[in-house]
Chain A
Amino acid sequence: MRITEQSERKDNVVLSVEHVKKKIGRKWIIQDVTFDVQEGEIFGFLGPNGAGKTTTIRMLVDLIKPTSGVIKVCGFNVNRDQEKALQYIGSIVENPEVYTYLTGWENLEHFARMQPGVDRNRIQEVVDTVRMQQRIHDKVSTYSLGMRQRLGIAQALLGRPKLLILDEPTNGLDPKGIKEMREFIRRLADEGLAVFVSSHLLSEIQLLCDRVAIISRGKVLAVGKVNELVQQNAKYVVWNVAPWEKGRAVLEKQSDVEIVNHPELVLDDSIIAGMGEHALVTRMNEDRIGSLVTQLVHLGIEVSGVHNINPTLEQLFLKMTEGEIIE
């Protein structure tokens, strides 16, 4: 249902980033970033540390001016027409930094005074939305990280933005909090808000986002719907055979099966941990599993397990950013 909605609103681009480049000192931190975010979609922004994620986000909200390229929000250039463009953006850049010596309510009042059309009722509305009614009049210094995260979102929502930018929104949250946050973001998107989320928790992004952009070393490597991107990815099959050497020799001989010598580079840690000692990781089409098992058994090799690994965003990510360290 979501997908159909999205395709209907194809032209409702809230955020457009065109060939943005940024040079700091002599170094090109961002080497050409282009993507669009549409109304009602959740857009994931992935990349290892130092890839330019934060720099890009800062450019989206005019904290940093791009060296070249254009960023538009609802048609307004963020770096030229700040007052109009920023009106449509609600954001949390990195951590939700609010004034700890003020109460939550005073913080909201503070930010409300900085944008037009936000009155007391709107503040109350936002407080209700993030379910902070009970603690809103306490000093922020007494809040937990989760509370601050919610207060951060509350302030981002104050001005009824069209685009919500969240930098690592699940950072520091417990599993329950993460689940709540995910549902919350979904709900906002369903109400028509475009949400731009950056995260290093790739499984989170996969579960949450409609579309993603993968960035590495200042370049966007891929942009697309999560499903489509994942489908492009190669499939892996894990074999448990005995005797191991014999089984390996058999599999190696197959022209359409490739043995992966360093599975830790392409597979999630959790999968590798569950594999057991004598597992063989292969890259192959799952259609071939049946005939291969028959062949192995026929040769007297015992097959104790065959696992088809479901493709994930993390695998894709690892593959695309091979060798780079992810936080």
Chain B
Amino acid sequence: MSSLIPLVKNETIKIIKKKRFYVILLILLVLVPIFTYAQMRSAEHSREKFNGDWRLETQQQITDNENSLGSDRVPDEWKKFRKIIVQQLQYYLDHDVNPKEPNGVTFTREFMNNSVSLFIPLLIMAIASDIVSSERTTGTIKMLLTRPVKRWKVLLSKLITLIMFTSLIVLSTFVITYAISGLVFGYKGFDIPVFTGFQISGSDVDMSAVHAVPQWEYILMQSGLIWFVSLTVAILAFMVSVLVRSTAASIVVMMAALIAGSILTNMAAAWNSAKYLFMVNLQLTDYLSGTPAPIEGMNLTFSLIVLSIWAIAAIIVSFAVFTKRDILN
């Protein structure tokens, strides 16, 4: 009867007024400069090492790689990869771009790549784990559910709001990282070519499809994948938030799952069925950059299916529980 939009508006206003989103922005504003500084120091370090001339360094890297191309001991697959590296390095020289001194865009890309499985999900959880359980902790759920609105609509409005904020968080991470790192490293670099298309099957890397895309396109793809991962994490945290009464408990549950995921990623290669766990499939951006998946048999389609199934199951559980449950306290 009553439309969903006013409900979504309510939830949005609550998140903003509760300063949850500001906290996330604040975390980014504090942490990103730290990472930027670390990156700056390492850039300085390598600059000192090579007499301050990155062109010489880069040219030497090219020469070294070309030398290994001639060697029979180097497998052909590696040679392809080296050729790609040489191509990439050559681009830097041709465009007068210092690969070691990252520009804001490259830094942002790498930062986002590193934060997909833990950092961004953590930010997402700050909202997702709170969105239902906080209403229960404070008792406002009673006010919310005694309105002439069906329960599933209340929950759906929260889910929609969560999706909106998931997008906002991914966007903010990009914008803040770019803005801050750009201050130090410069704002240029959107058209640097980034290589993608590595197809990994088992331990073999198929380079036949490798191609370069401008960095802005790469970041767009990367952000899209991060968004999907974030959405899955958000929905799972949402379910936990429905099931668990306290926000803290709900965050702890999700954190445990995520950390378990990052540990498993590092050691589960032998345990094949671990690939069906959602937390092992969070590093979607690896498929883009060509980093081998932790467990054999994983590829983008597989991971997307696994994540989707988990997310859909979480949605079903959330709605089933939320609409049926007695609010006893």
Contacts and interface: CB of A to CB of B under 8 A. Distances in A.
Contacts of B327: 58, 63-64
Interface stretch (A81-89, A128-136, A312-320): A81-89
A116 B1 contact: yes
Contacts of A98: 140, 143
Interface string B120-140: 000000000000000000111
Contacts of A61: 142, 145-146
A93 B17 contact: no
Interface stretch (A107-115, A247-255, A293-301): A107-115
Interface string A58-87: 100111110000000000000000111111
Interface string B286-329: 00000000000000000000000000000000000000101110
B140 A101 contact: no
A291 B328 CA distance: 57
A159 B148 contact: yes
Interface in A211-235: none
B269 interface: no
A268 interface: no
Interface in B1-23: 1-2, 6-7, 9-10, 13-14, 17-19
A113 B6 contact: yes
A97 B142 contact: yes
A303 interface: no
Nearest to A61: B146
A58 B141 CA distance: 12
A116 B148 contact: yes
A225 to B, nearest CB: 29
Contact of A64 (B17, B151, B328): B328
Contact of B149 (A91, A101, A114, A155): A114
Contacts of B150: 82-83
B148 A97 contact: no
Interface residues of B, number: 28
A97 B1 contact: no
Nearest to A63: B327
Contacts of B13: 102, 106, 110
Contacts of B14: 99, 101-102, 110
Q: Is the interface of A mostly helix, strand, loop or mixed?
A: loop
B73 interface: no
B229 to A, nearest CB: 30
Contacts of A321: none
Nearest to A84: B148
Given A63-B146, A83-B148, A83-B149, A113 B10 contact: yes
Nearest to B146: A61
Residue from A62, A64, A99, A116 whose CB has the most chain B CB atoms within 10 Å: A99
B142 to A, nearest CB: 5
A185 B142 CA distance: 22
Task: Please indicate which of the listed interface residues B10, B142, B146, B149 has the most CB atoms of chain A within 10 Å of its own CB.
Answer: B146
B142 A101 contact: no
Contacts of A206: none
B145 A97 contact: no
A84 B328 CA distance: 23
B118 to A, nearest CB: 28
Contact of A106 (B6, B17, B143): B17
Contacts of B140: 97-99
Contacts of B2: 83, 114-116
Contacts of A100: 138
Contacts of B7: 113-114
Given A82-B148, A106-B13, A110-B14, A155 B143 contact: yes
B95 interface: no
Interface in B133-167: 138-140, 142-151
Contacts of B1: 83, 116
Given A97-B138, A101-B19, A106-B13, A86 B147 contact: yes
A113 B139 contact: no
A236 B149 CA distance: 52
A6 interface: no
A95 interface: yes
Given A83-B1, A83-B150, A116-B1, 8 more contacts: A58-B142, A58-B327, A83-B2, A83-B149, A106-B13, A111-B147, A114-B147, A114-B148
8 contacts: A64-B328, A82-B150, A83-B148, A97-B140, A101-B18, A111-B147, A114-B2, A115-B2
